[in-house]
Amino acid sequence: MTTTGTTVAGVFEELYGHAPEGVWAAPGRVNLIGEHTDYNDGFVLPIAIPQAVRAYARRRDDGVLRLASTRVPGAAVELDVAGLAPGGVAGWAAYPAAVVWTLRRAARHEVGGADVLLDSDVPGGAGLSSSAALECAVATAFNDMYELGLGAEELALLAQSAENEFVGVPCGIMDQMASMACRAGAALHLDTRDLSARHVPLDLAGAGLTLLVLDTRVQHDLADGAYAALRAGCERAAALLGLPALRDLATADLPAALTRLPADLVPLVRHVVTENDRVRQAVAELQRHGPAALGPILTAGHASLRDDYLTSCPETDLAAATAVAAGALGARMTGGGFGGSVIALVATERAEAVAGAVVDAFAAAGYAEPHVYRAVPSAGARREA
């Protein structure tokens, strides 16, 4: 299916024979700091980005769910909402179907079918959380169409359990909370244990700064075993230390704790504990000295992912190192890892040069040309039309 020469609403009408009743948007995100902390009950500091998934939708009262995406060629996938079950839907359609499944479980018979067409400018598999954006757009659409009255936090939790239980990706809560709850002009300081959140003002433009997003175009696949193995390692370490989660290990107690762990768990625990500390530092520095002070914290976060957590890859290491060498205040891989995107905080007048240096370094290394975006702290999920 293509949207060339026509509007997405026009494509919806061609596909389903009637107009959508509304359009709901939910953004992707970049995480400033706090990576792999969300499944350890820790802290994160994401912003929503301008790129979003939009769900064009119309409620149906016959229990039929039809799903299409402007990114996926071919006819709509047709499902029976009452028959939705984990494992029962293959491919991309599992993501939206999963959300309908969890909403039905939470709000029983109130949730029925719909015609849905997804349109997105969030690159998929780039560490910018297209999956959570998709889930949150669909969750927000159904919440409105079926007047469920669920709040942002409940919708985020339902979207997460959709991805965990139905799609089979054991993600934490950061991406869905960022997509649901972020505000324009602010970062979301989130405690993933109790979901208490603070909106920390982040005026990059006012500070003369640009946050570059360098998508390495190395596709990760979070459904593979690596992410699950890291998560399991963290849980094993917490259990060995007699703690509910690694978030409960204080920085001061880290050296002693590391002596009690098997060698393979030491770097994991060191990353999680120091990373939680970097989130606290980042929020304090942001409030005291402004966004430029985030630079060294970002770079330290990348080193921890590269050397301890081992979730970076040659392409993300090259992008981060090149950005810093070309004058960025700091740079780090963002997202789950094994590819995806690097963020670089740069003085706006250096942004072109830093992006150019990374593009050149990739060409010299024989890597695919990275895609470059500028991230502006943007609004969370909302109805648009």
Active site (catalytic) residues = 175
Q: Does residue 95 bind ligand ADP (CB under 6 A)?
A: yes
CA–CA distances in Å: residue 355 to residues 210, 287, 345: 11, 28, 11
Site string for ligand ADP, 34-53 (x = CB under 6 A): -------------------x
Q: CB under 5 to 8 A by kind: which of Mg ion, ligand ADP, none does 322 bind? A: none
Contact pick of 92, 142, 166, 338 for ligand ADP (by CB under 6 A): 92
Q: Does residue 72 bind ligand ADP (CB under 6 A)?
A: yes
Q: Does residue 210 bind Mg ion (CB under 5 A)?
A: no
Residue with Cβ nearer ligand ADP (192 or 334): 334
Q: Which of residues 216-255 bind ligand ADP (CB under 6 A)?
A: 222
Q: Are strands 64-69 and 113-120 parallel, antiparallel or unpaired?
A: parallel
- Beta-bridge partner residues of 373: 213
Site string for ligand ADP, 113-132 (x = CB under 6 A): -----x-x---xxxxxxxx-
Using the CB atoms, write b or e for 94-125: b if 16+ within 10 Å.
Answer: bbbbbbbbbbbebbeeebbbbbbbbbbebbbb
Please report how close the Cβ of residue 11 comes to ligand ADP at its closest, in angstroms. Answer: 13
Site string for ligand ADP, 280-319 (x = CB under 6 A): ----------------------------------------
User: Residue 36 burial (CB < 10 Å; 0-12/13-18/19+)?
Assistant: buried
Residue nearest to Mg ion (CB): 131
Please report how close the Cβ of residue 292 comes to Mg ion at its closest, in angstroms. Answer: 30
Residue with Cβ nearer ligand ADP (69 or 304): 69
Please report how close the Cβ of residue 293 comes to ligand ADP at its closest, in angstroms. Answer: 28
The string of DSSP codes covering 294-355 is: GHHHHHHHHHHIIIII----HHHHHHHHHHHHTT-SEEEEESS-SSSEEEEEEEGGGHHHHH
Residue with Cβ nearer ligand ADP (95 or 362): 95
CA atoms within 13 A on the CB side of 103: 31
Collapsed DSSP state (helix, strand, coil) of residue 102: helix
Using the CB atoms, write b or e for 133-151: b if 16+ within 10 Å.
Answer: bbbbbbbbbbbbbbebebe
Please report how close the Cβ of residue 185 comes to ligand ADP at its closest, in angstroms. Answer: 24
Q: Does residue 131 bind Mg ion (CB under 5 A)?
A: yes
Count, residues in the chain: 385
Tokens, residue 189? 């300081």
Please report how close the Cβ of residue 34 comes to ligand ADP at its closest, in angstroms. Answer: 16
- What is the total count of residues that contact ligand ADP (CB under 6 A)? 19
Q: Which of residues 174-203 bind Mg ion (CB under 5 A)?
A: none
Using the CB atoms, write b or e for 296-324: b if 16+ within 10 Å.
Answer: bbbbbbbebbbebbebbbebbbbbbbbbb
Q: Which of residues 145-164 bind ligand ADP (CB under 6 A)?
A: none
Q: CB under 5 to 8 A by kind: which of ligand ADP, Mg ion, none does 339 bind? A: none
Q: Does residue 170 bind ligand ADP (CB under 6 A)?
A: no
Please report how close the Cβ of residue 168 comes to Mg ion at its closest, in angstroms. Answer: 12
Tokens, residue 87? 């494992």
Q: Which of residues 317-336 bind ligand ADP (CB under 6 A)?
A: 335
Query: HEC profile for 265-301?
Result: HHHHHHHHHHHHHHHHHHHHHHHHHCHHHHHHHHHHH
For residue 127, give the nearest of 313, 358, 280, 364 by alpha carbon.
313
Q: CB under 5 to 8 A by kind: which of Mg ion, ligand ADP, none does 24 bind? A: none
Interacting residue ranges for ligand ADP, rule: CB under 6 A: 53, 69, 71-72, 92, 95, 118, 120, 124-131, 134, 222, 335
Interacting residue ranges for Mg ion, rule: CB under 5 A: 129, 131
